[in-house]
Amino acid sequence: MPSPRQPPRPPRPVTPDSLERSALRYLERFATSAENFRRVLMRKVDAAARAHPGLDREQAAGWVEALIRRYTGAGLLNDAAYADMKAGSLHRRGTSTRAIREKLAAKGVDRGAVDRALDGLDADTDGPLDRAAALALARRRRLGPFRAPDKRAALRDKDLAALGRAGFDYATARSVIDGNTDGEEE
C-alpha cells in the first residue's frame, strides 16, 4: 500500500550565503544569461518571501544584484558568450534565425549580442544560414530528401508545413524539401 503523500516542504529562508550556494549550483549545471539568472534567483527569493513573511524582498534583490555584478566581473556570466554558444547549438539542431532570435530574447539577451552571434554563425556557414539550419532539421526529422523516395511526394506538403512551423520562409522550405536526395545541394 503506497504511503500517503506528505505536503511539500516550505522553502528555507534566503540568506546571502544560501543564495550564493544556490547560484553556484545553478551555474554548475546550466549556461545562462544575466537576465535569466536574475529571474531564477528572484523566483527563489519570492518563494522564500511567501513562506517566511519576515524576509525583506528588496534586501534579497540587492543580494541577487551583487551576485550578478560579481559573477559578470569574474566571467561566470557573459551574455555574449552565452548568445554565441546557444545560437550555435540551436542552429546545429535546425532552428531558424527567427526562432533563435526569439529564444535568446526570451532569455534576456540583448539584441546586439544576438546579432553578433548570428553574424558569427553566418561567417562560419557556407551559403544562407537559414538554408543550412533547414537542412539540419530536415535531416534530423527525416523530411523531404531524407525521407524514403516512395513516400516523399505524398508527404511533401506535410514536410513544407513542418519547416514553416519551425520558422523558415516558404522559399527556404521549398528549396530544402524539393532538393536532391543527398540533401546537400539543389
Residues 48-103: tens digit of each pLDDT? 999 988 889 999 999 999 999 999 999 999 999 999 999 999 999 999 999 999 99
Q: Please indicate, yes or no, whether residues 112 and 137 belong to a single structural domain of this protein.
A: no
Q: How far is it, in rounded angstroms, from Cα 46 to Cα 26?
A: 17
Higher pLDDT, 99 or 180: 99
**Is residue 61 exposed (0-12), middle (13-18) or buried (19+ Cβ within 10 Å)?**
middle
**pLDDT the model gives residue 185:** 43
Domain presence at residue 28: yes
Q: Please indicate, yes or no, whether residues 112 and 156 belong to a single structural domain of this protein.
A: no
Domain presence at residue 135: yes
Domain presence at residue 4: no
Domain encompassing residue 170: 129-177
Share of the chain above pLDDT 90, in %: 79
Domains in the chain, number: 3
Domain presence at residue 186: no
**pLDDT the model gives residue 163:** 95
- Interval 14-24 mean pLDDT: 95
Domain presence at residue 142: yes
Q: Please indicate, yes or no, whether residues 29 and 68 belong to a single structural domain of this protein.
A: yes
Q: Please indicate, yes or no, whether residues 103 and 137 belong to a single structural domain of this protein.
A: no
Q: Please indicate, yes or no, whether residues 134 and 163 belong to a single structural domain of this protein.
A: yes
Q: Please indicate, yes or no, whether residues 69 and 95 belong to a single structural domain of this protein.
A: no
Model confidence pTM above 0.85 = no
Distances (CA, A) of 144 to 81, 153, 171: 34, 8, 14
**pLDDT the model gives residue 2:** 64
**Residues in the chain, how many?**
186
Domain presence at residue 5: no
Q: Please indicate, yes or no, whether residues 117 and 137 belong to a single structural domain of this protein.
A: no
Domain endpoint, select from 56, 74, 92:
74
Q: How far is it, in rounded angstroms, from Cα 71 to Cα 76?
A: 5
